[in-house]
Structure 1
Amino acid sequence: MKAAVIGDVVASRRAPDRRALHRQLRAALAAAGFAFTVGDEFQGAQPSVGAAIDTALGIRLAVAPEIDIRFGIGWGPVTVLDAETGIQDGPGWWAAREAIEWTATAQRQPGLAAVRTSYRRAADTAGPDVDAVNAALLCRDHLLGSLDDRSTRILKGLLSNRSKKDIAAAEHVSASAVSQRAGRDGLDLLVLTSAYLRGVR
């Protein structure tokens, strides 16, 4: 049983320099143990749904705001078809494909434009509740989608366990300004949400 993750770049064809986009994203993927498959799509697997959610967020924030990514996470049996090449198949991957296709469709709806991650579970497979996990992901993505560049940088720092004082110094603002922004933009809430989602088994 694995949490399969499929990701791809949103509106990649409009990128002014696709080679530079791939270079930047490749570094983030390598750090997570993920790899490109075809074009702008990439894949990887994690031992739990929570780990998959956390890894997807890490990749997303590593390349934000320059690159926008969407994800599909699937939980279920995964079969290694070729050990030498690492090619895999199985219900976990089929569920991930269903999830990312739903994400791409949802983004085209005005009320769901901020959606970037969704989760599916393979049929007849025990695992985290689909509706509960997706409810949390929808709310988290809405908050993430409302952040400006500075709040995104501050969130990255907070998720990396940097102090608000250190983040403030890097941003050339006061620690009080960082604290106020963290409260106003829901950054502390996003950190807490990430911790809860990381623990999903």
Structure 2
Amino acid sequence: MSIAVTADIIGSRQLADRVSAQRAFDDAIARVEQDLPVATQSMRPTVGDEQQAVYPSIDAALGAILLLRLALPDGVEFRYGIGIGDVNRVPSTASEKGISEGPGWWAARSAIEHVEMLQKRTAPQARSWIIADESVADQHADAVRWTNAYLLTRDEIVGTMSERVRRLTYGRCLSRTQRELAEAEGITQSAVSQGLSTAGAAAIVEGFRLLDLL
């Protein structure tokens, strides 16, 4: 069973500089995949404003998505659809690797559509959702429910963070000390501690550590 992730650029048509924005996405993705090499299929652009990746577990997908959210600068962000289901390769003479398709991708697309609805209605800060393909929905019902509860809370906290606090939180997820982060940012250790504490970063960091990916 695979975990398919589709990342959809938010407001892609309104970006003032699409080329620079894509560079920011590419740089953040490369950084995350270096710091947390858990993807079985690296996140890569597909068509238009979408990127896709495949992970071996829900935990791996959740960890990678969190770091990517934290790594991206202000003004560029994704919404994420996570799909539980088979991911297959269809042979094609136009591609050596074939064409990736299957129920995992369809579930991820449905999850993207649900996130977009949440943003417009009840949860403006929502950025991530998980859905299991109907063929495995009963088997994963509890995991899907718990994961979505976690994602709603996590997105709410991350969504209110400043760009600097996201960088600091990223560093803490990777077990960098507050002193190291302060030196990198050119600020005091006290400012790092206060910024993290005010933003609720400790809960995000502890949640990441509970995924047990490092």
Question: TM-score normalized by structure 1?
Answer: 0.90
Partner residue of 1:185?
Answer: 199
Is the deviation greater in 3-12 or in 29-38?
29-38
Partner residue of 2:37?
Answer: none
Q: Of 98, 111, 115, which residue of structure 1 is paired with 2:126? A: 115
Gaps (5+ residues) in structure 1?
none
**Structure 1 counterpart SS, 2:100:** strand
Alignment CA distance shift 1:141-1:189 (3 Å)? same
Matches within 5 A, 1:1-201: 1-30=1-30, 32=33, 33-82=42-91, 84-109=96-121, 111-125=122-136, 126-127=139-140, 129-196=143-210, 198-199=211-212
Gaps (5+ residues) in structure 2?
34-41
Amino acid at match of 1:61: L
Question: TM-score normalized by structure 2?
Answer: 0.85
Shift of 1:87: 1.6
Q: Distance in 2 between matches of 1:86 and 1:55?
A: 25
CA offsets per residue over residues 33-74 of structure 1, 9 Å max, x none?
Answer: 211111110101000011111112222222232311110001
Give the 4+ runs in structure 1 shifted more than 3 A: 27-32
Fraction of identical pairs, as percent: 35
Count of matched residue positions in the alignment of Structure 1 and Structure 2: 198
CA offsets per residue over residues 63-88 of structure 1, 9 Å max, x none?
Answer: 23231111000111121113723422
Query: Is the contact between residue 71 and residue 166 of structure 2 (CA under 8 Å) also seen in structure 1?
Result: no
Amino acid at match of 1:9: I
Alignment CA distance shift 1:29-1:166 (3 Å)? closer
